């Protein structure tokens, strides 16, 4: 493990204020607002509400979010020939704006929707910068960019990479523009955070990326010294009224960097301009800071860039550190006396050694980053070797039913693919809890409840790590359909709140009062593996148990358009797997880890996979079962990768193509992982899954779960 120094080697930014660091700095010095009436797309009922959009974006065949992200990536990598070891992107919209246009045009060609998935943004950036390793996607609503940077910090400190390109990107879309309007959270005069007459936010867009490294550059732009994550566990959209979650995240960032409130010279506020959010943040700051330092929100200038906001404000933090500029709280003319905070009303030319930057989002997702001048403060303590992730409870849902019913189907060599009725999924959930919830959050809650029951814990899990390839399809479809049916007048605010990918993880946090880290990963067919990676990176030895869940819903209209593995004429399948994990070596439990994850599948990838698994001898001696997950859309590539792996490793053990049983859906690997645990507890593989027709002993052996196709992943599950 390495020491904690993480330097900022490069930054890239594109926002409504302009393109690049110089343009952004000048706009902030001039206290200029880029909020103006929306013109990106036409409206059926003008006039347009104020929004903040990027102008003069270069023409591209890619969706708008991707184009924004690539522009920021080019800037961040300028002058650096060494590709990053990993890319971590925060986003909530992905290719949604393009999807909306295709739906309006009634396009039914699946290939036209190939960039809808959130993961495609990270994959596009990774391809452009020639990243040889992981391309990961975080989707925690408006804190996504900050959470992506937090995850990058942990991976770098743990020695998992030397260089990581991380940040966030989002574009405006009908869903976000009309969604926030449906919640009555848009200020018709433009966002004016912390003003006594504020009425709401202004939706924006943009992208920002930071090139982070543990190798000190000649001229670092600063250090990412600490990060803090928390969850309000209070409400799907509203913040905790006392700002408890926000205060927890700020304190966690200070503790992580081993600094005190007295070390902070400037706070970049989340400051959206909504009455409740600004009040909660003000209470959180007053809780921690007896005498707050200079502080301001820039969202009156940039608008709220959603997933990009935290990353844009991270770049603004580097401007504060390197250019002696503390930006004004643009739009605020008369500070609200109830908040008992006086933000900067004009830009201030003064130096800062340490900057705290806040980002909060739907689902109570809070992220706080601490930036500092290079080498001014002592390096954070070295992160020592950690215990493995032990499985204290697990459960799955498939088309056949719960864990036992799924196993029973497998033992009879039956498919367990399909979709359970909504009533069956919800059977063991409180009616009041699920009354307004649709299929995706009910799946997630049912998995969490079953895994928690299986664990038999007295202590409830404190953190939630969710993996989902497609998120809440029902809510997204219903919101857009209602928008169309009512001529853009009466979309559902409930569907909008539920449409974000992290909505299900937020519901789990509320149900179990899980106030720790709450992260949703969206890596397509490898989303569950990404959630496990996030858990492994963020859970320390002192951490409480955590939920790690992978789930996806089948949707009659959207699934066949978005998921290329749903071939014409094939039936829909969905479900998932849920785990309660503990960072302890516990007797009688299985353990799980992700020893390999790489998006680059070019020559040499299989050799790296074998090396990461300990080499041929370890594979031959340790593993008793191989479970291969090959998405139908990548069948040819996946089978070629598998053949190369078997040839080079000389592994000759039972092989199960688990998607033949689970059906094709993005989180099928989570079901496979739960089934692997069940096989190990039973000590054998059911005879129906083995070509020879005899049970295969697994005592003393591990199970290897490979994800193949557009990425190559490996999960290793070891027995009790």
**Residues assigned a catalytic role:** 142, 270, 304
- Looking at 539-615, list the stretches that DSSP marks H as alpha helix, in order from N- to C-terminal side: 559-562, 605-612
Which residue, 619, 642, 616, is CA-closest to 629? Answer: 642
Which residue, 280, 124, 263, 266, is CA-closest to 194? Answer: 280
CA distance 164 to 100: 32
CA distance 229 to 296: 21
CA distance 488 to 480: 9
Whether the CB-CB separation of 270 and 361 falls below 8 Å is answered with: no
Does residue 251 come out as left (phi exceeding 0), alpha (psi in the -120 to 50 range) or beta? Answer: alpha
Whether the CB-CB separation of 171 and 143 falls below 8 Å is answered with: no
DSSP 8-state class, residue 525: G
CA distance 391 to 682: 15
Is 628 strand, coil or helix? strand
CA distance 635 to 535: 29
Close Cβ partners of 205 (under 8 Å, ≥ 6 residues apart): 15, 16, 52, 53, 54, 64, 68, 170, 171, 172, 303, 305, 306, 308
CA distance 340 to 194: 10
Close Cβ partners of 575 (under 8 Å, ≥ 6 residues apart): 396, 397, 398, 399, 419, 420, 443, 551, 552, 662, 665, 667, 668, 671
CA distance 319 to 351: 10
Q: CA of 496: how far to CAs of 314, 349, 430, 695, in Å? A: 27, 41, 23, 49
Burial class (CB in 10 A: 0-12, 13-18, 19+), 701: buried
Extended beta strands in 324-388, E state: 354-361, 365-372
CA 59-63-67 angle, 5° bins: 55
Burial class (CB in 10 A: 0-12, 13-18, 19+), 105: exposed
CA distance 537 to 583: 11
Give the chain's length: 720
Whether the CB-CB separation of 680 and 590 falls below 8 Å is answered with: yes
Is 706 strand, coil or helix? strand
CA distance 512 to 503: 15
């Amino acid at each position: 493990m390495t020491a904690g120094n993480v330097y900022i080697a490069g930054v890239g930014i594109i926002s409504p204020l302009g393109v690049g660091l110089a343009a952004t700095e000048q706009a902030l010095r001039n206290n200029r607002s880029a909020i103006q009436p929306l013109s990106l797309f036409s409206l059926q009922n003008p006039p347009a509400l104020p929004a903040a959009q990027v102008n003069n974006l270069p023409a591209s065949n890619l969706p708008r979010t991707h184009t924004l992200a690539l522009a920021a990536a080019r800037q961040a990598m300028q002058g650096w020939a060494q590709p990053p070891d990993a890319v971590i992107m925060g986003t909530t919209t992905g290719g949604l704006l393009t999807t909306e246009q295709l739906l309006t045009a009634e396009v039914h060609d699946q290939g036209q929707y190939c960039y809808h998935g959130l993961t495609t943004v990270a994959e596009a950036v990774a391809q452009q910068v020639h990243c040889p390793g992981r391309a990961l996607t975080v989707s925690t609503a408006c804190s996504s960019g900050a959470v992506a940077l937090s995850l990058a910090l942990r991976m770098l400190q743990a020695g998992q990479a030397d260089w990581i390109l991380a940040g966030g990107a989002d574009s405006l879309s009908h869903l976000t523009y009309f969604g926030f309007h449906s919640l009555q959270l848009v200020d018709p005069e433009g966002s004016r955070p912390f003003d006594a007459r504020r009425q709401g936010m202004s939706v924006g867009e943009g992208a920002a990326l930071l090139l982070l490294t543990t190798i000190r550059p000649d001229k670092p732009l600063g250090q990412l010294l600490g990060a803090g994550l928390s969850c309000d566990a209070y409400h799907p959209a509203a913040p905790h009224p006392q700002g408890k979650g926000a205060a927890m995240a700020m304190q966690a960032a200070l503790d992580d960097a081993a600094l005190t409130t007295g070390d902070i010279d400037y706070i970049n506020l989340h400051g959206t301009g909504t009455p409740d959010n600004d009040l909660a943040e003000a209470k959180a700051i007053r809780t921690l800071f007896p005498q707050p330092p200079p502080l301001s929100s820039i969202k009156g200038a940039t608008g709220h860039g959603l997933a990009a906001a935290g990353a844009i404000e991270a770049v603004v933090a580097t401007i504060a550190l390197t250019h002696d500029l503390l930006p004004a709280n643009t739009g605020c003319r008369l500070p609200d006396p109830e908040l008992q905070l006086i933000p900067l009303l004009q830009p201030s030319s003064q130096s800062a050694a340490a900057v705290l930057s806040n980002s909060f989002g739907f689902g109570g997702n809070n992220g706080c980053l601490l930036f500092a001048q290079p080498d001014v403060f002592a390096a954070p303590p070295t992160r020592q070797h950690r215990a493995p992730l032990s499985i204290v409870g697990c459960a799955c849902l498939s088309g056949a039913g719960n864990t036992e019913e799924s196993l029973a189907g497998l033992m009879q060599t039956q498919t367990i693919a399909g979709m359970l009725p909504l009533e069956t999924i919800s059977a063991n959930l409180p009616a009041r809890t699920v009354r307004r919830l649709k299929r995706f959050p009910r799946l997630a809650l049912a998995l969490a409840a079953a895994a928690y029951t299986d664990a038999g814990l007295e202590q409830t899990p404190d953190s939630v790590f969710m993996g989902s390839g497609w998120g809440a399809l029902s809510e997204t479809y219903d919101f857009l359909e209602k928008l169309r049916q009512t001529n853009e007048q009466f979309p559902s605010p409930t569907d909008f709140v539920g449409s974000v990918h992290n909505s299900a993880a937020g519901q789990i946090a509320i149900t179990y009062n899980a106030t720790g880290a709450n992260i949703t990963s969206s890596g397509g067919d490898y989303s569950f593996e990404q959630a496990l990676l996030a858990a492994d990176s963020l859970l320390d030895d002192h951490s409480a148990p955590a939920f790690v869940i992978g789930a996806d819903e089948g949707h009659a209209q959207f699934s066949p358009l978005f998921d290329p593995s749903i071939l014409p004429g094939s039936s829909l399948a969905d479900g998932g797997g849920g785990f309660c994990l503990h960072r302890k070596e516990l007797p009688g439990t299985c353990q799980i880890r992700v020893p390999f994850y790489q998006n680059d599948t070019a020559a040499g990838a299989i050799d790296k996979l074998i090396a990461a698994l300990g080499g041929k001898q370890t594979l031959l001696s340790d593993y008793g079962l191989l479970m291969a997950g090959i998405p139908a859309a990548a069948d040819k590539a996946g089978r070629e990768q598998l053949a190369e792996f078997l040839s080079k490793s000389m592994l000759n053990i039972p092989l199960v193509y688990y998607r033949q049983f689970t059906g094709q859906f993005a989180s099928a690997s989570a079901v496979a992982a739960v089934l692997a645990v069940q096989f190990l507890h039973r000590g054998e593989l059911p005879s129906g899954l083995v070509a020879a027709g005899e049970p295969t002993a697994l005592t003393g052996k591990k199970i290897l779960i490979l994800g193949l196709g557009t990425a190559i992943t490996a999960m290793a599950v070891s027995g009790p």
